[in-house]
Amino acid sequence: MERPWIQSYPPGVEAEIDLGSYASIRDILESSCSRFADLPAFCCMGADITYRDLDRLSADFGGWLQNVAGLGKGARVALMMPNLLQYPVAIFGALRAGLVAVNCNPLYTPRELEHQLNDSGAEAIVILENFAKTLEDVIGRTKVKTVVTTQVGDMLGFPKSLLANFVVKRVKKLVPPFRLPGAVSFPDAMAAGRSHRLAPPPIGLDDIAFLQYTGGTTGVSKGAMLTHRNLVSNLLQVSNWVGTGLEEGRETVITALPLYHIFALTGNCLTFMKFGAKNVLIPNPRDLPGFVAELGKHRFTAITGVNTLFNALMNTPGFSALDFTGLKMTLGGGMAVQRAVAERWFEVTKTPLIEAYGLTETSPGACINPLVKDARYNGTAGLPLPSTIVTIRDDDGNVLPGGQTGEICIAGPQVMKGYWNRPDETAKVMFADGAFRTGDIGYMDERGFVKIVDRKKDMILVSGFNVYPNEVEDVVAMMPGVLEVCAVATPDEKSGEVVRLVVVKKDPGLTREAVLEHCRKNLTGYKLPKIVEFWKDLPKTNVGKVLRREVKNAPLQGS
């Protein structure tokens, strides 16, 4: 088929990637650790670990998982922590041992964590103590047998580690009391691992590396099976694109998005590791003054994030005074980049804010705009990455001519193997020719640029995180005082979109505060409704299906 996007590729970008370079993520890690041994790999809260350190520490943890925890190839290991040095050590230790990593959002409620642990069949979990109480509430109803707990300062070195842990636990009181009998501390696991040699099992490109959970229109969270082929392919695709402007061993990337999010996992952790870059981990980007202060300590060359993050930074005192002379690349994904934000970013930093597009199911990169110094905002999601085929199709799967609007579909080596234990859900999103149905509506222009015009799915995008209406509705419907409920998106200046909840009361005494309190107990923070309205009834089709579009388009009515 024709690929009009190839003609628009920047100089130096190849049309295809060479998948023969690596057999697994482990190969890429070990290659980088050898080539860039004495360079800093990760930095967090003022502490660095080199690539040599990463090699040794991840091997120690992998050896512990194999020989002490007794986990064999393919066993699932959950990780539940923010951006700390422990994360790359644990994740690469698990992958080198042939295990499957299951990323868990630290803000999960007990209900959400229980579902993900049970659905994945996780046998072990590495968790920051701040969130251990959530695990305590559900562990008895899961298959988890091995628990490794860690504290914020565990890898900061003496005496900073002791001070950081004391402040977090005793001064700020951020660690609720918990009881997890048999849990092992991260430092103890690492110490024990040093006496147990890692025995790397054979790993192939078709072995699963991650179960990366995403929502669905059914409201059931599903695990996208991302293989080593998927992740290695996307790493090569992205590095082929951005590599024309980067130098090996000389880059510093700011990682503010959590590494448990697929964008940061592939775009920052894996891709920049291949370049021998220094990853600066930001544990709490919501602390904007602290974030700006940390940026001032580094001559960073790249930063990734979502539109709301860039907007917030530019509205934080001190940001515009930072040194941007080293900045080569700013990459925005996870949600649409707004024109006003992109144009102001260029004014402040003199560097374009480049928009990219992808999904969890595509590892995630699918499209990206040209990375050129004089790039300007064009309102598109960019061009298909190397070895990627983007088609626009009608509801029957027929490929539409250029310029016509339909569903954006993606084929390529980065497309997931399928949903874990859900062949029925996999069949709904995959065409026989291997193209993945994104649920996004758009078109492709004559130059090959993809423009997204709407979302076919009813997903709500809050600061780059997917919120699926059915999940919110299912939680609210559990309340005895609720007759009917509908959740839709409504625009918001800060987060792009927020959840608007419309409720039909069964109990006339039901209040907005009661609904929100119930949601707080059962939903992660970004899923919480920001607007709660009470209507007499909901608009429906003649077969009783709620017309979400009419609810979404109706003017706000208050509560």
| Integer Cα distance of 56 and 213 in angstroms | 29
**Which of 356, 351, 344, 387 lies closest to 232, judged by CA?**
387
φ/ψ bin of 182: left (φ > 0), alpha (ψ from -120 to 50), beta (otherwise): left
Q: Phi then psi for 10, rounded to 5 degrees?
A: -65, 155
Mean pLDDT in the chain?
A: 94
Note the pLDDT tens digit of each residue in 255-269.
999 999 999 999 999
Note the pLDDT tens digit of each residue in 27-82.
999 999 999 999 999 999 999 999 999 999 999 999 999 999 999 999 999 999 99
Model confidence at 348, pLDDT cuts 50, 70, 90, reads very high
Note the pLDDT tens digit of each residue in 307-336.
889 989 999 999 999 999 999 999 999 878
CATH class, range 25-33+48-203:
alpha beta
Residues 182-206, mean pLDDT to the nearest whole number = 97
The topology (CATH level 3) of 460-553 is GMP Synthetase; Chain A, domain 3 (3.30.300)
Q: What is the domain partition of the chain in residue ranges?
A: 25-33+48-203, 386-455, 460-553
**Which of 458, 516, 462 lies closest to 486, judged by CA?**
458
- Total-model pTM: 0.89
Strands (E), 426-543: 436-444, 450-455, 460-462, 465-467, 482-492, 496-505, 529-535
Q: Phi then psi for 440, rounded to 5 degrees?
A: -100, 140
Question: Which of these ranges, 200-204, 236-240, 338-342, has the smallest mean pLDDT?
Answer: 338-342
Q: What is the dihedral of CA 183, 186, 189, 194, to 10 degrees?
A: 180
Contact 310, 295 (CB under 8 A): no
- Does residue 544 carry a pLDDT above 70? no
| Residue 471: per-residue pLDDT | 86
Model confidence at 466, pLDDT cuts 50, 70, 90, reads confident
The DSSP output letter for 427 is: H
SS3 356: strand
| Integer Cα distance of 226 and 210 in angstroms | 5
| Residue 336: per-residue pLDDT | 81
- Does residue 219 carry a pLDDT above 60? no
The DSSP output letter for 546 is: B
| Residue 307: per-residue pLDDT | 87
* Cis ω for the linkage preceding 4 (within 30 of 0): no
**Which of 273, 235, 276 lies closest to 22, judged by CA?**
235
Note the pLDDT tens digit of each residue in 363-403.
999 999 999 878 889 999 999 999 999 999 998 999 999 99
Q: Which residues pair with 273 in a beta bridge?
A: none
| Integer Cα distance of 387 and 233 in angstroms | 9
Residues 331-356, mean pLDDT to the nearest whole number = 91
Model confidence at 469, pLDDT cuts 50, 70, 90, reads confident
Architecture of the domain defined by 386-455: Roll (2.30)
Question: Which of these ranges, 91-105, 216-230, 278-292, has the smallest mean pLDDT?
Answer: 216-230
- Does residue 125 carry a pLDDT above 70? yes
Residues 86-110, mean pLDDT to the nearest whole number = 97
| Integer Cα distance of 254 and 300 in angstroms | 7
Note the pLDDT tens digit of each residue in 233-263.
999 999 999 988 899 999 999 999 999 999 9
Residue 176, CA distances (Å) to 130, 142, 306, 468, 551 in order: 7, 21, 31, 29, 40
Model confidence at 543, pLDDT cuts 50, 70, 90, reads low
| Residue 542: per-residue pLDDT | 56
Note the pLDDT tens digit of each residue in 495-522.
999 999 999 999 999 999 999 999 999 9
| Residue 474: per-residue pLDDT | 83
Instruction: Report strand pairing: 146-150 vs 184-185.
Output: parallel
**Which of 552, 4, 16 lies closest to 237, judged by CA?**
16
